[in-house]
Chains A and B, each alone.
Chain A
């Protein structure tokens, strides 16, 4: 059994490094989208660090050397130190690999939703085999 990171499984982190720039250019489209509950797409959401239902959830700008780029436009979310794969939608809402079909307004709401869904289970890197 091989255990590899999700990003290696993909081979490349498609377009992640340019995501913030492109999001900024997409400003008008994002602003006219229906679920504009989140801050404007060209401003980064606030960092957070809290214990929610007994688990530490953290979010903030991703820094170099931490798995490379992120589809969240340079934003990283962890649960008990394990990275939760997150993605930002064009309208500024967020989804994660745990809740991939139900956008929420902020990364903090996304982390809390993942904790509820996990029911205490640990996040694991993608396991193949």
Chain B
């Protein structure tokens, strides 16, 4: 059974195996296909049109399925690997072990944002940024630039307290759990973390930074935590909603999986702590 652990608790060997599997997916070209898929959805999901991966109720089940697919790819390289999650309410500075050279490497240098240490630094030659929106082919970060702060545990708890999963107009203007977790409204959780990391993580090609997966694994865990807190709250909308993935509608690009199929994560993995 796959157990997703807090990144802060990984052993040196688990970190080594995780980063090695990432580098092998990159080398084989499989990694970049995930970046391409994410960017295609982020540019086509619109508040007033068809929306699947973002700014819509299916933000959470879509990313759950996306991460499962990515985790399966990692495990095809090394069956001992699982996706770790980054609890950014606890490990909230650039001095966290997450950003050490034996794991993801640190922030970018001032001149051009280039990450210069860790397995994904340009100098290692093993992490070319191929799917990109500008001319720069190296991983960039600007952790906590301009004094930005990651969300606090209290802010997370204020969002987990919301009873309703999602509400009309089912987009970035909605006032319920999903959109407050996504961050288009309110204290801003998920979106703010992308901005805090900076570099490619702040763009449509954000999966170019491996921290994308650890960020979304924690967002996914917060969904599970919310379900445990509100057992009578259901995924919404249930049926007949234009441009939006209802409970039993299939999601692109897989076309064989619905939000209903994704509600119970324990069919695929568990977490190191009870929800």
- Mark A residues whose CB is within 8 Å of B: 6, 9-10, 12-16, 18-19, 22-23, 26, 29-30, 32-34, 71, 73, 85, 87-91, 97-103, 117-119, 121-124, 126-129
Contacts and interface: CB of A to CB of B under 8 A. Distances in A.
| Ranked 3 nearest A-B pairs via Cβ | A15-B49, A22-B48, A90-B173
Contacts of A88: 47
Interface string B32-73: 100010011011101111100001000000000000000000
A2 B172 CA distance: 34
B113 interface: yes
Given A15-B243, A90-B173, A117 B202 contact: yes
Given A98-B203, A128-B131, A89 B44 contact: no
B132 interface: yes
Chain B contact residues, majority secondary structure: loop
Given A15-B243, A71-B43, A100 B206 contact: yes
Given A85-B204, A97-B43, A100-B206, A124 B50 contact: no
Most chain A beta-carbon contacts within 10 A, residue among B44, B131, B183, B205: B44
B134 A90 contact: no
A10 B243 CA distance: 17
Given A102-B195, A118-B134, A122-B134, A91 B172 contact: yes
5 contacts: A14-B50, A89-B184, A101-B191, A103-B184, A127-B132
B133 A124 contact: yes
B169 interface: yes
Given A23-B48, A101-B194, A119-B112, A33 B173 contact: yes
Nearest to A32: B173
B78 to A, nearest CB: 25
Contacts of A97: 39, 42-43, 133, 203-205
A128 B203 CA distance: 16
